[in-house]
Amino acid sequence: MKAPFYKLTTALTAAAFTLGASSVAAVAQEQWDLPMAYSATNFHSVTGTEFAKCVTTGTGGDITITTHPGGSLFKGGDIKRAVQTGQVPIGERLLSGHQNENPLFGVDSIPFLATSFDDADALWKAARPALETVLADQNLTLLYSVPWPPQGLYFKNEVNSVADMQGVKFRSYNAATARMAEMTGMLPVSIEAAEISQAFATGVADAMVSSGATGYDRKVWESLNYFYEVDAWLPRNYMLVNSDVWSGVSDSNKNVVNACAELAEYAGTWRSKEYTGFTLQGLRDGGMTVGPANEAMTAELKAIGDTMTAEWLEAAGAEGQAIIDAFKAMK
């Protein structure tokens, strides 16, 4: 199968050249290294790479962005701090991995709150202003955000109830997944995206909650056998730039970067939607059993989700409640 990426490449490249034609030269050329946690073939990394090319071309080389996918420059968990402290000027990160810093970072990972792309878009619109304020306090400026496909459950062995999950070693990547493991009786193991294949191959973990995209990219069918479509949530990746660096960018080049970011958010979201069906078929082709969880297990998981939602609201306080209220008002 050919991944559904190529359709937007020409349009984005053309847009970059259009932006470049109107760009005004900056005072000095800048070289920006962009670390990304996921493999170069992952749709987030593809989108990030095209964003980088758009900026490089659109600014006429005033800002040249070099991408470093697969955690090759900084591991996923270290990217946000690297940007925040100026070790690199820009980076892409799954903010829910930092929910321990601020509960609002986990708003996109509340189980069974936003379970479709339309819901995820509404939740993003409701949460964005508050997230931008939190990030600004951390010397970070948000450029764009792209959702993952709906999250499902991967297992090595068949499961038909929460009871079947007891004692299973479960890959966690944020507070929500660690809490889910705890409430289902599984054993959470912190594993970065770049380490997934090795972790499953060596038995460090035997299960995870993630999108079809992650499983497809890491060829998890070599170790796992089942994917249950539970549509738990649609977490987001965020492109962040150091605010001190951003303040030094000329207005004309800021316009270019923001235009490229808008294009990237559109393209990335389109890819996420297209990639959902493509990757689930890829898992089937790899030999995995792919399908919805049974009604009993779905009910058990949603009950866990209700508890986790209440816990998140308690931690996030009035600000979190305001986001949820705004989200529900959009539906």
Summarised one tens digit per residue, pLDDT across range 20-39 is 444 444 446 899 999 999 99
Q: What residues have CB less than 8 Å from 118, skipping those under 6 apart?
A: none
The average pLDDT across 202-231 equals 96
pLDDT at 75 over 50: yes
Q: Kindly report the CA angle at 230 between 226 and 235, in degrees rounded to 5?
A: 105
Contact 197, 218 (CB under 8 A): yes
List the domains of the chain with CATH numbers.
6-147+236-279 (3.40.190.170), 152-232+284-330 (3.40.190.170)
SS3 191: coil
Contact 44, 36 (CB under 8 A): yes
pLDDT at 84 over 90: yes
Residue 102 structure tokens: 């601020």
CA-based end-to-end distance of the chain: 36
SS3 227: strand
| Per-residue pLDDT tens over the stretch 236-273 | 999 999 999 999 999 999 999 999 999 999 999 999 99
Distance CA 58, CA 63 (A): 9
DSSP-derived secondary structure letter, 277: H
Q: Are strands 140-147 and 90-94 parallel, antiparallel or unpaired?
A: unpaired
Helix (H) or strand (E) holding 155: strand 152-155
